Amino acid sequence: MIFKYLKQILKLTSVVFTVIILFQLVTEQHLDNTKLYELLALSLVLSLIKVIINKYIISEDSVFNPLSYIIVIWLMVIASNYLFSWNMSLSSIFSTFIEVILIYLCVRIINYQHEKIEVKKMNEILYRNRKNKQQ
């Protein structure tokens, strides 16, 4: 049971981290090892929060789930600004909200594509099993 959640958390962490790094590179931010570690830690915490929100607070099917997750992400970025001394200006803090929404949408699209591939594979297996039973 714990491995199921650990696998889900690590998968989500890798996707979130990759998308955040891509956004950092596109916006020409300076990335050093310290900043990468901080972003990785932020991604891990956000993934843990997502699993906790889905399991204990709001169901995954709820309309409020994405909204609450986006707000939590933005608050975590603001907290990281002070925790890691990123020295973000007020305008960059508010523009980060737009980036958070874009990152969330990118992650959702990647997850949707992955789930679509998994469903296709499962359907192929079911089709083969039905075909073998009929013979």
Average pLDDT over residues 30-59: 81
Average pLDDT over residues 87-116: 85
Q: Which two tokens stand for residue 130?
A: 């039905």
- pLDDT score, position 1: 62
What is the percentage of the chain residues whose pLDDT exceeds 90?
A: 8
Q: How far from the centroid of its chain's Cα atoms is residue 37's Cα?
A: 17
Q: Which two tokens stand for residue 5?
A: 């959640």
Which amino acid makes up residue 47?
S
CB 96 within 8 A of CB 88: yes
Assess whether pLDDT exceeds 80 at residue 60: no
- pLDDT score, position 90: 86
Q: How confident is the model at residue 78 (pLDDT cuts 50, 70, 90)?
A: confident
